[in-house]
Structure 1
Amino acid sequence: MSSADQRPLGLLSAPPALPRLPDHEIAPTYRRWRASAFMGIFIGYAGFYLIRNNVSLVASILKDHGIMSASDIGLVANAVLFAYGLSKFFMAMLSDRANARYFMPLGLALSAIMNLFIALVPALTASVGLFAVLMFINGWFQGMGWPPSGRVLVHWFSTRERGWRTSIWNCAHNVGGAGIGLISAWALDSFASDDADWTPAFWAPALVALVVAAVALLLIRDRPEAMGLPPIEEYADDPAKVEADNDEEDWRSLLFDHVLRSRVILLLAVTNVFVYTLRYGVLNWIPVYLTDYIHGANVKDGILGFAIYEGAGIAGTLLCGWVSDRVFHGWRSGAGILFLGGVGVALVIYWQLPPTAPMGLFYLLIAIIGGLIYGPVMLIGLQAIDLSPRNVAGTAAGFTGLFGYLLGATLASSGVGHLIDQAGWNITYMCLVGVVVVAVILMTVVGRDERRLLREGSAHVSEG
């Protein structure tokens, strides 16, 4: 990478390559630092989920005490997701040229500080509009988490091992998502001044996130070449599916050539809209739905449902990665179609349960939906980085995330909130089932292109 590419980012710039280590030091050094870097991005990314969108956890408190309506809650929740979608794309352009070791912890620390301001300075949340602005800023800092993680995965793990590693890393979503539910429930129970006090669900996770940021800084290393090691393709003897372009090429050319004009990336981006609508359309409203619909349910029951949804995603993500490798032999879309179909079935049953049904049955279906939806979430990000040159992999994944959060999260937050207020839960879930159908259709279209690329790749290997 040229000095011209590095200098504009100052201290955040990607470190230069160091002289190659002696041959006998390469293997042990590689094992040590890629294990450390992987653990750093796993812990670090889980930390982002502790402080991403805590409004959803306290939605029933805000609604039941007349602080906000469901539409207001949707607006505030949507602000952070909207900003995150923008940031995930634009910050990825910086992250592809930045030092992941500094980039990720900085974003996490800034997001944690913003959450502390929201919780501890009441004047900052005196109006819905101001609250939404603050959450928008928080969402922008949140966009500094995924791109450096993708950069580490691309540089430290080769193509043939990246699928399994990505599925493991993707579980950080769920570790953090489950963690925020547990931490918030404990903090509200221990520190809330009254039933209307929602602030412990913001400041307690933020303090934990600051510690996580420090740990991530100690563990992450940007790329092998900066440690005096060979590129992963050379070390693992595993050529990339898509070769990296000249680092001197203008980023606008890279953006157009490998993202905006790529049929597969565009299809993945559109599919992500509907996958994220499902992901957040169910998750964000679990606390409100359970407390509104189920006889005797309270806010803690709703928060526990939120945590179960996220926690179940760990098993679902790992299972999806295994199924895509072993059952579908690398055809990721096949696994995505299977898992989305399962989401649709479980969602209908969840919707049709009577309010007198045992709480455990609701929790079981929440776990099934959460476990299944995170498979497609992981697959789309994996396909984006796997089918792009590594010097723009973060930008390609950020582009799919841009669509997912800007459009999908908007539908899931403001759109679902409006449906709840205006049409009730039955119409809301009917629309979500329709989203499942569209997502399956789009994944099928993506799958045709993916099969073609797999055939072309196999033919290329045979000719070689």
Structure 2
Amino acid sequence: MKASVKNKWIMLSLTMVCYLFFYTGRHNFGWAVSGMAADLKISFSFIGWISFAMLIGYAFGQLVNGNLADRFSPRLMVITGAYLSIATNVAISFSSNAYVILFLWGINGYFQSLAWAPGGKIINNWWNKAERGKAFGFYTMSAGLSSVVTFLLSILLLQQGYEWRMLFRLPVLLLLITATIFIIFIKDKPVDEIILGAEKQKQSSTTWTQRYAKILGNKNFLMICVAFGFESMARYGLIFWVPIHYLGSNWKQQSQNIWITFFLPIGMAFGALCFGWLSDTVFKGKRTKAILIGMLISSLLAFSMYFVSKEHFVLSAILMLSAGFFVYGPQACFWPLSPDLLGSELTGTGIGFMNMFGYLFAALGEPLIGKLIDSYGSTHPIFIIVSLACLMSATTIFFASKRIYKNN
């Protein structure tokens, strides 16, 4: 007996609502940095290494948690990650040592990684192959909206005069509530597993080492992973450093400027929703072309932002909205390339492997941006790095696309 329409939508909604608040324990860091750096006398170079630690922890988690979700209960993995991330955030709020914060933020990266792949596993279990793309589109959108929620809460708390420590205590309370609701009502899979029976039989015949060996032997997919890595470097360059750019040292005198940053996650959420549809309709399933166009436009937008003063509210808001749309939107086209190039048997492992590349590249970019800010005494170089990362992603996807369609 297949999962009922009602039940599969309930499971998708529960997973989306839970993930909607996961970033309150991750994307809050950029908003706390200015106060933290001033209070604890931490350089932006070291701040970059703290962010690096989190992203490396997340990258490692992405590499292993897809396989773990196949062996253990994904609902328990999600809830474990949520509760441990909340505890780590609260611990950071009471810390005054930069190295303790670096360690805690690094393990928080791993705890946060316990949600995405296992959440995807739950969705995969409840939705059949014909509807899975739609379900994952909504799931990706919830990640984009999670940034919207985190940015909004952080801005409101700062405008109310709360210190940086409260950014690690208050927003994650919402994750505590939604994660608890999630664990009470979510089910790993339907009672009857007919929907995925055939696929599971195929997966059981391949060991995890064989799956990784097949991925490493697929040069086209590895090129896609590199392109995704540069895209993620650009995405996190914006998510983490843009709040620092608009906060500055005198943001309280021009507090409306920080609302410019709110347009970034809004653009990301809409981009995630639109790009998947565009790749299926306008680009007729040629996802690499949609990614190429998105990355080229992103590069131009980021380069333009280098020359725009923070005081130009309307222009900055338009550029921020557009950058969010075109930087994050292509992610909706990257994920389906895993089954497209590897087959359904390797979908989970492929997505985890690709996401590992993304966070590894993002981690490498953080100390570089922090060093440039310290060296130049300005946050504007952020946008040059983002622009170059987008250009490198576009270049890589261009050559990958030529190889893919030549072979086909």
Q: TM-score, normalised by structure 1?
A: 0.80
| C-alpha RMSD of the superposition | 2.6
1:320 CA drift (Å): 0.6
Find the aligned partners of 2:330 and 2:266 in 1 and give their Cα distance.
16
Find the aligned partners of 1:117 and 1:71 in 2 and give their Cα distance.
23
- Mapped contact 2:279–2:290 kept (Cα < 8 A): yes
Is 2:402 aligned against 1:445?
no
Q: Say if 1:154 and 1:385 are closer, same or farther in 2 by CA, change over 3 A.
A: farther
Other-structure match for 1:253: 210
1:136 to 96, 106, 109: 106
Residues 27-426 of structure 1 aligned to structure 2 (within 5 Å): 29-65=3-39, 67-119=41-93, 122=94, 125-190=95-160, 192=162, 197-224=163-190, 227-231=191-195, 245-257=202-214, 259-292=215-248, 301-302=257-258, 304-357=259-312, 359-390=313-344, 392-411=346-365, 413-423=366-376, 424-425=378-379
Deviations 1:376-415 (A, max 9, x none): 223223322554455542221111111111222321x211
Find the aligned partners of 1:391 and 1:218 in 2 and give their Cα distance.
30
Q: Say if 1:426 and 1:96 are closer, same or farther in 2 by CA, change over 3 A.
A: same
Find the aligned partners of 1:207 and 1:369 in 2 and give their Cα distance.
30
Gaps spanning 5+ residues in structure 1: where? 1-20, 235-239, 456-464
1:127 CA drift (Å): 1.8
Equivalent pairs, count: 407
* Amino acid across the alignment from 1:325: D
* Amino acid across the alignment from 1:263: K
- Mapped contact 1:80–1:137 kept (Cα < 8 A): yes
Find the aligned partners of 2:349 and 2:395 in 1 and give their Cα distance.
26
Find the aligned partners of 1:365 and 1:294 in 2 and give their Cα distance.
22
User: Alignment identity in percent?
Assistant: 22
- Mapped contact 2:226–2:393 kept (Cα < 8 A): no
Deviations 1:70-129 (A, max 9, x none): 11221212211110011111122211222222221221121112112222xx2xx22211
1:286 CA drift (Å): 1.0
Q: Say if 1:349 and 1:297 are closer, same or farther in 2 by CA, change over 3 A.
A: farther
Find the aligned partners of 1:245 and 1:117 in 2 and give their Cα distance.
44
Find the aligned partners of 1:385 and 1:298 in 2 and give their Cα distance.
48
Q: Say if 1:301 and 1:68 are closer, same or farther in 2 by CA, change over 3 A.
A: farther
Find the aligned partners of 1:403 and 1:432 in 2 and give their Cα distance.
17
- Mapped contact 1:180–1:307 kept (Cα < 8 A): no
Q: Say if 1:390 and 1:217 are closer, same or farther in 2 by CA, change over 3 A.
A: farther
Other-structure match for 1:5: none
Please, which moves more after superposition, 260-269 or 326-335? 260-269
1:141 CA drift (Å): 0.5
Find the aligned partners of 2:302 and 2:161 in 1 and give their Cα distance.
35
1:263 CA drift (Å): 2.2
- Mapped contact 1:51–1:111 kept (Cα < 8 A): yes
Find the aligned partners of 1:372 and 1:97 in 2 and give their Cα distance.
36
Gaps spanning 5+ residues in structure 2: where? none
Q: TM-score, normalised by structure 2?
A: 0.91
**SS of equivalent to 1:249:** coil
- Mapped contact 1:91–1:143 kept (Cα < 8 A): yes
